[in-house]
Amino acid sequence: MFNLPKDLIKIINQSQRMVVFTGAGISAESGIPTFREAQTGLWAKYDPMQLATPQAFAKNPELVWQWYAWRRKLVQAAQPNAAHLALVDLEASLPDFVLVTQNVDGLHQRAGSKNVIELHGNINRIKCFFDASHVIAEQCYDDNLPSCPVCSANLRPDVVWFGESLPEEALRQAFNAAENCDLCLSIGTSALIYPAAGIPLAAKQAGARVVEINLSPTALSEHTDFTLFGTAAQILPYISATFSS
Ligand code: NAD
């Protein structure tokens, strides 16, 4: 049982234009490891500079490909959890709803969310390392490093690596939604990686209320109207239920 503050229930019920910003924490209860958590995060066990940069891929493409193949299998074996499903209900309850995710796992779409902006790509897609316009396939389940049928360069996962820019149009749409929403929920993100972490701040600056859901305080917490401590799957069903009560 999670008790939402009464003031917050009122704000949620009055919302017409909601932006939800998600990070790795929303998929933690589906069994997908987060990035920066001290004991369980991926970066506690693996060096991102050896696995998640264009330089790493240029140096050792097989290693990077295998690591992503392992993560892709984790993602494909996982199921959306109660938090993903609650966001599907929220989308159905609001006239204007935009879900902006930093996650590459595609679990929001598998749960049934429709208006989803992916800021960091999708692990199930691949693209050419030499020229991203050689888009080859939406899905790739191959464990072996494939090559581009157009130019024979190595294919890579279609995710944003360290040192790379976020997709321009997705970023523009996300900030536009944030600047025009009345309520922004920031869920399961350490809110450290910019420009994505600027999304709830842009909403706040434009006059929206900002609500955070996380296990512990983050870089965003001092700017929020409410920070709710607990797991996303514990809390979000109570937020979506405010519309049916
Ligand atoms: P993160 O690991 O930095 O933070 C996860 C957050 O979720 C933490 O604040 C944690 O307290 C919280 N959390 C954990 N379990 C939770 C739960 N059950 N309910 C609610 N909150 C929970 O992940 P992030 O904020 O998503 O990181 C930002 C982005 O950096 C990532 O999405 C990722 O795309 C990214 N990044 C990844 C790569 C890569 O892998 N190639 C490269 C660059 C950036």
Q: Are 91 and 115 in contact (CB under 8 A)?
A: yes
| Confidence (pLDDT) at 179 | 98
| Confidence (pLDDT) at 36 | 79
Q: Are 61 and 154 in contact (CB under 8 A)?
A: yes
Give per-residue pLDDT as tens, 112-149.
Answer: 999 999 999 999 989 999 998 886 665 666 788 988 88
Helix, strand, coil shares of the chain, percent, nearest 5, are 40, 20, 45
Spans of the chain below 50 pLDDT: none
- For residue 192, the CA-to-ligand 1 centroid distance in Å is 9
Q: Please tell me if the CB atom of residue 238 comes closer than 6 angstroms to any atom of ligand 1.
A: no
| Confidence (pLDDT) at 40 | 74
Rounded to whole angstroms, the Cα distance separating 106 from 53 reads 21
Q: Please tell me if the CB atom of residue 232 comes closer than 6 angstroms to any atom of ligand 1.
A: yes
Instruction: Report H helices in the chain.
Output: 6-14, 25-28, 42-45, 48-51, 54-59, 61-77, 82-93, 107-111, 168-179, 198-205, 232-241
